[in-house]
Amino acid sequence: MSGVKGSGLNGFWGDASLEPKRKFRWILGMNGIPHWLLKTASRPNISLTEAEHDFLNYKFYFPGRVSYDELSITLADPVNPDATSTLYQLLLDSGYMLPNNLKQQNLGLGGGAENGVGLISKKAAVQAISGLYLHTLDSQGAIVEAWRFHNAWIKSVNFDDLDYSSDELINLQVSIRYDWATVDARKGFVDTQKLGKMPGERSK
C-alpha cells in the first residue's frame, strides 16, 4: 500500500517508531467490574453463512447472513470487590426473580419487580451491563483500537470449581451474547472524544 508508513519491504522491522498491537495491552469495560480483575478476553469472531448450489460436478457458494460468536472473558474473583456477587447481581438486574420471591397471585397484573413479578427481558439484560467495550492500548496507554458490542447481555457464568489440592486463584468464566460489534481504529489512533462516556467513567 503506497503512502502507508513502513509499507516498504523491510519498513516495519526497520522503523523503530512502528509498533504491533500487543495481547497484554487492553482494557474491558463492563458495569461493576474493575479493569484489573480481567485476565483474558476474546475478540470478535465474525462468520458468514453460505448457500450451496450444485451443477453437474461443480459446486458454487453464495454468502448469506453475518453472525457474531459469543464473547468469552475470564476474570479473577477477589474477596473485595467480590466478582461473584457483582455478576449475580447483574443476573438479578436482568429481570430474574428468585422463585420464593415471586407473587403468583399478581401474574397478569403487570408492575414488574415492584409488584412481585420478575421476568427477564432483553432490555433489562442489556441495561444491566451498561454497554460493553474492549480497548487495545499502545505503549503510552492510548487507545489504538476500540470495540463496542451492541445489545450485549450475559449469557452464562461459570463460577469455577473448588479443590483442596490446588492453590490457584478462583476464576470466573463469562460468556456474553451481542447482536453486532463495531470497531474504531482509523489511521492507527482513536478519537476518544467521539467514543462517548464509558461505563463506570466519572464525569470530569
203 lies in some domain: no
Pick the closest to residue 103 from 121, 115, 88, 87 (CA basis).
115
Total number of domains in the chain = 1
Identify the band that residue 195 occupies on the pLDDT scale cut at 50, 70 and 90: low
Which of 116, 99, 127 lies closest to 32, judged by CA?
A: 127
pLDDT 10s digits, 99-116: 777 777 766 666 666 666
pTM, entire model: 0.77
pLDDT for 109 equals 67
Mean pLDDT of the chain: 83
Q: Which residues of 180-202 are buried (b: 16+ CB within 10 A; e: fewer)?
A: ebeebeeeeebeeeeeeebeeee
Tell me, yes or no, whether 50 lies in a domain.
no
Give the CA angle between residues 169, 175, 177 to the nearest 5°: 160
pLDDT surpassing 80 at residue 155: yes
pLDDT band at 200 (very low <50, low <70, confident <90, very high): very low
| pLDDT, mean of residues 145-168 | 94
Strand extents, DSSP E, the chain: 26-29, 38-41, 46-55, 58-68, 71-76, 132-137, 143-150, 153-158, 171-177, 180-184
Residue 100 CA to residue 130 CA, distance in Å, equals: 28
Q: Is residue 163 part of a domain?
A: yes
Domain that holds residue 163: 20-39+70-193
- Tens digits of per-residue pLDDT, 69-91? 999 999 999 999 899 999 999 98
Amino acid 21: pLDDT: 86
The dihedral through the CA atoms of 104, 110, 114, 117 has a sign that is positive
Indicate if the pLDDT at residue 55 is higher than 70.
yes
Does residue 130 sit within a domain?
A: yes
Question: Does any domain span residue 46?
Answer: no
Size (the chain), residues: 204
**What's the confidence (pLDDT) of residue 187?**
47
Answer yes or no: is 172 within a domain: yes
Percent of the chain with pLDDT over 70: 78
Pick the residue with more confidence: 174 or 2? Answer: 174
Cell numbers for 145: 483500537
pLDDT at 59: 95
User: Is there a domain that residue 31 lies in?
Assistant: yes
Grid coordinates of 128? 444491566
Nearest to 174 by CA among 196, 202, 199, 149: 149
Give dist(CA 40, CA 201) in Å, integer: 21
**Does a structural domain hold residue 127?**
yes
126 to each of 116, 194, 201, how far by Cα in Å?
21, 22, 18
Q: Rounded to the nearest 10 degrees, how much is the dihedral formed by the CA atoms of 74, 164, 78, 96?
A: 70
Q: Is the pLDDT of residue 20 over 50?
A: yes
